[in-house]
């Protein structure tokens, strides 16, 4: 039973659902799990630190006006996590970064998206992931054709970044949306 079924979420009137990619659709822990033989008991610690730094570096760079694409941020965060965990194995960085390009979807993703699509919902991804990262993740998860749009903030030439830097905290157009990381049901769903 999916989370949508368990919670009995009422999606009546919802026409479109827009999902974040990492941590909502795609399990960022996949990369370290694939290399758990090499990482041993450090795999979970590395995963948590890598993700924490990935988010912190994104926020810090945005606050400082020093944009870097998500692939760069992901690599910088991994470097910090590897150093902190004292993991210095030949090729491990490259292997982990390659695995990040093909993260597994969470177990409930395919079924939930199929149900939403069957119910006539329009589906999209809006992510700070780089276009190549998103394309690879969607293809690897066999979700090609499920989403009407896969939008990277990189494709907007930093539009989302500039909006965050503006003094106005209100959206300039559209329906207000809410987002809470960690679950399909909690993704952005807009009524229009």
Annotated catalytic residue 79: no
| pLDDT over 50 at 172, yes or no | no
Residue finishing a domain among 100, 130, 161 = 100
pLDDT-derived band at 12 (thresholds 50, 70, 90) equals confident
Q: Which two tokens stand for residue 169?
A: 């905290």
Structure-token match 């329009």, residue found:
122
Same domain as 49, residue 11 = no
Q: Report pLDDT for 154.
A: 84
Same domain as 96, residue 41 = yes
Same domain as 92, residue 124 = no
| pLDDT over 70 at 147, yes or no | yes
Beta strands, E only, the chain: 14-19, 122-127, 149-152, 188-191
Catalytic residue among 20, 52, 79, 94: 20
Helices (runs of H) and strands (runs of E) counted in the chain: 9, 4
CATH classification of the domain holding 173: 3.40.50.1000
Q: How far apart are CA 34 and CA 131, in angstroms?
A: 23
Same domain as 66, residue 12 = no
Query: What is the number of domains present in the chain?
Result: 2
Same domain as 159, residue 93 = no
Question: Region 130-137: what's the mean pLDDT?
Answer: 95
Same domain as 175, residue 111 = yes
Residue finishing a domain among 47, 82, 100 = 100
Q: How far apart are CA 60 and CA 74, in angstroms?
A: 14
For the entire predicted model, the pTM comes to 0.76
Model confidence pLDDT, tens digit, residues 41-92 = 999 999 999 999 999 999 999 899 888 999 999 999 999 999 999 999 999 9
Measured CA distances, 151 to 1, 19, 21, 31, 41 (Å): 29, 10, 10, 23, 36
Residue finishing a domain among 100, 134, 150 = 100
Same domain as 144, residue 185 = yes
Supply the range of the domain harboring residue 79.
30-100
Q: 17 CB contacts (<8 Å, ≥6 apart)?
A: 11, 116, 121, 122, 123, 124, 187, 188, 189, 190
pLDDT-derived band at 169 (thresholds 50, 70, 90) equals very low
């Amino acid at each position: 039973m999916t989370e949508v079924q368990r919670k009995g979420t009422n999606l009546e009137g919802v026409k479109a659902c827009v999902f974040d990619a990492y941590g909502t659709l795609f399990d960022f822990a996949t990369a370290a799990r694939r290399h758990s033989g090499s990482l041993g008991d450090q795999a979970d610690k590395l995963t948590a630190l890598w993700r924490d730094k990935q988010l912190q570096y994104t926020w810090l760079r945005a606050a400082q006006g020093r944009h870097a694409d998500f692939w760069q941020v992901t690599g910088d965060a991994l470097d910090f996590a590897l150093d902190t965990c004292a993991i210095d194995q030949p090729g491990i960085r490259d292997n982990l970064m390659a695995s990040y390009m093909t993260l597994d979807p969470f177990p409930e993703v395919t079924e939930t998206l199929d149900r939403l699509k069957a119910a006539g919902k329009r589906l999209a991804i809006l992510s700070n992931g780089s276009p190549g990262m998103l394309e690879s993740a969607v293809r690897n998860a066999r979700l090609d054709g499920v989403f009407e749009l896969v939008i990277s903030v990189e494709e907007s030439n930093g539009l989302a970044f500039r909006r965050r830097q503006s003094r106005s905290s209100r959206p300039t157009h559209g329906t207000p949306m809410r987002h809470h990381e960690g679950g399909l049901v909690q993704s952005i769903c807009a009524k229009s």
